[in-house]
A and B are shown apart, each in its own frame.
Chain A
Amino acid sequence: MIPLNHPSRSMAKNWYHVILLIGVGLMLFPFVWMFLTALKPEREILAVPPTFFPRTLTFENFTDIAHRIPVFRYFMNSVLVAVVSTVAVLVTSSFAGAVFAKYDFPFKNALFMIILGTTMVPFECYMIPFYLMVSKAGLIDSYTGIMLPLVITSFGIFLMRQHIATIPDDLMDAARIDGCNELGVFTSVILPLSKSALSALAIFQFMFGWAFFVWPLIVTNSSELFVLEVGLAMFQNQYAVEYGSVMAGASISVVPLIIVFLIFRENIVSGMALSGMKS
């Protein structure tokens, strides 16, 4: 065996860091390039060779896209859809999670398996009947229509069940002896002790709602209701070659998520990792 302090060992160790750092560069470069392009005037974007850092720093790409499409409105639509669907998921997941974790009732396991089983079927596989249903309900081209698929998630119920199962029954019984009814037990014991799981789920669902694309694309016709993702896709379809404004638009969609990710990285990564625990 090669001794721990042998030079070839530390060489090997450094080599793997070098490779990992090259990987870091490859992962981050597209975002860097997007921001740099968004901040350059057109003549620099289309120059051969292109400038790397903008020689003249400009926000004209941002004002330009704001003139042509109501990008702020799209942004607020995305915020609305993501926030409302997050609240809905927090409510449905915490109640259902609590009942699956702490109460007994007939067909409980079968029901739970069905709920988990639906995660195997992606939205694309039932979007056509979903569309017909929403259209029959007269909800095409409405905020309710956009949010409808997002109000429940099996992942949320699973996550909350796993977490609430770890809360000791004694605490719930103590609250009952103090005169709490079951709703009281839920609000005064279960919810306060589930803050970490609820915040992980909230971040997760917010990002999911923000990124949701195929459904808003189908269900909205009028541009006032476009979420940012749909508005951007439409904009770049029309003005594909105007890379400066297109990159400005992409930056507007990316920046909030980078901020959320920087702040909540550990929650997000561990929440994503939890989804793997299902196996």
Chain B
Amino acid sequence: MSARITLTKSRGLERRKRNFVVAVIVPTVLLYTVLRIVPIAGTFYLSLYEWNLIKPNRPFVGLGNFAKLATDETFKVALVNTTVYTVLVVTISVALALLLALALKRKSRLGNLYEFAYFLPVVIPMVPVSILWKWMYDKTYGIINFTLNAVGLQGVGWLTDPNIALYSIIIMSIWKVLGYYMVLFLVGLRNVPDEYYEAGSVDGAVGWNAFRYITLPLLKPMLLYVCVIATIQAFNVFTPVYVMTTGSQSAPAASVRVLVYEIYQNAFRYFKAGYASAQVVVLFAIVMIVSIIQFKLLRADHY
């Protein structure tokens, strides 16, 4: 009798659980399908068509868009600029963030101030950040050139000189993302138990050796993660280029042209949705390949 009651009860419970799961999972899957999966797949689909937003017919061109890309000089420039930007931003910001994290690992009285200051740029949106750096970079009235002049150096056209503009944006981007990677490294470093260093110091692993043989191997998963997200973020740079180099003070367009800007222009200025999608596919492929290489490099060798 009582066994039957628990049975029916648990059957009822199973049914209620199942209903709850269905009621939650079905909308979640639907949202993901509509808002993520379909558009991602749509990009690959569109890249095979000459899909002009203002023309009614949309011929299938196969890999035609990609063939056109291969001879597109502007695209090549954007590709090179984005690669330079990514390599410099990722390597410099990851290295600096690691150094900062090592310096901040031990709690100090100034810890709160450090965390506040280094993390603040991370939480401030890119638009005001780009605007205020543009002001500091101003050739005539900017504080940076004023400071340079004050110490007897020649000021430069930070955003107007084609040889410099990209590097100016790189400097700003490093300043912006540094704190984020620093915090991630701090999480990784604080997960290394102190006993490891104590044991290591017995064997003479102090200073650089402790870093090389204890910290670095244990930090590898985090290093990998930071490198991958830093690369993805950097390859998709758009806002600072849009804000700092368009508008009335026409800056050297070609020298700071980056992939997402190129995609944005082709898709939403010239309405070449198919062609722009092919550019996205190339961007996506590059990011994937670089991520896989990073996985291989940082996973392969064990200590």
Contacts and interface: CB of A to CB of B under 8 A. Distances in A.
A243 B45 CA distance: 44
27 contacts: A24-B118, A34-B135, A45-B141, A50-B141, A92-B31, A96-B24, A103-B17, A114-B32, A115-B32, A118-B37, A127-B39, A129-B41, A213-B239, A214-B264, A229-B128, A232-B127, A232-B128, A236-B134, A247-B135, A249-B128, A251-B128, A253-B127, A260-B123, A261-B116, A265-B119, A276-B222, A279-B222
A84 interface: no
A254 interface: yes
A129 to B, nearest CB: 3
A276 B128 contact: no
A24 B90 CA distance: 21
Nearest to B29: A111
B276 to A, nearest CB: 6
A113 interface: no
A152 B222 CA distance: 26
A45 B142 CA distance: 9
A268 interface: yes
Interface in A231-279: 232-233, 236-241, 243, 246-247, 249-251, 253-254, 257-258, 260-262, 265, 268-269, 272-273, 275-279
Given A33-B136, A50-B143, A96-B28, A253 B128 contact: yes
B103 interface: yes
B212 interface: no
Interface residues of A, number: 94
Given A118-B32, A237-B248, A273-B183, A247 B118 contact: no
A258 B239 contact: no
A210 interface: yes
B197 to A, nearest CB: 14
Contacts of A192: none
Contacts of B29: 111
A237 B37 CA distance: 35
A126 B225 contact: no
Contact of A26 (B25, B123, B175, B236): B175
A233 B130 CA distance: 9
Task: Give me the 10 closest cross-chain CB pairs, A-B, nearest first.
Answer: A129-B42, A211-B125, A237-B247, A182-B20, A279-B225, A126-B39, A250-B128, A24-B117, A276-B184, A129-B39
B61 interface: no
A98 interface: yes
A264 B41 CA distance: 38
Nearest to B260: A124
Given A118-B40, A246-B135, A268-B123, A20 B184 contact: no
Interface of A: 1, 16-17, 19-21, 23-24, 26-28, 30-31, 33-34, 37, 45-46, 48-50, 92, 95-96, 98-99, 103, 105, 111, 114-115, 118, 120-122, 124-133, 148-149, 151-152, 157, 176, 181-183, 186, 207, 210-211, 213-214, 217-218, 229, 232-233, 236-241, 243, 246-247, 249-251, 253-254, 257-258, 260-262, 265, 268-269, 272-273, 275-279
A54 B284 CA distance: 48
Given A213-B127, A214-B238, A279-B221, A125 B280 contact: yes
Interface stretch (B70-78, B107-115, B162-170): B107-115
Contact of A30 (B25, B40, B136): B136
B36 to A, nearest CB: 5
Contacts of B179: 27
Contacts of B133: 30
Contacts of B210: none
B124 A257 contact: yes
A1 B207 CA distance: 11
B268 interface: yes
B138 interface: yes
Contacts of B249: 240-241
Given A24-B118, A278-B225, 4 more contacts: A121-B40, A131-B268, A151-B35, A241-B248
Contacts of A237: 246-248
Given A95-B28, A129-B42, A237-B247, A49 B146 contact: yes
B35 A148 contact: yes
A199 B24 CA distance: 21
Interface in B21-59: 21, 24-25, 27-29, 31-32, 34-43, 45-46, 53
Given A121-B40, A125-B280, A152-B32, A246 B141 contact: no
B16 interface: yes
Interface string B170-214: 000001001110011011100000000000000000100000000
Contact of B236 (A124, A129, A250): A124
B224 interface: yes
B264 to A, nearest CB: 7
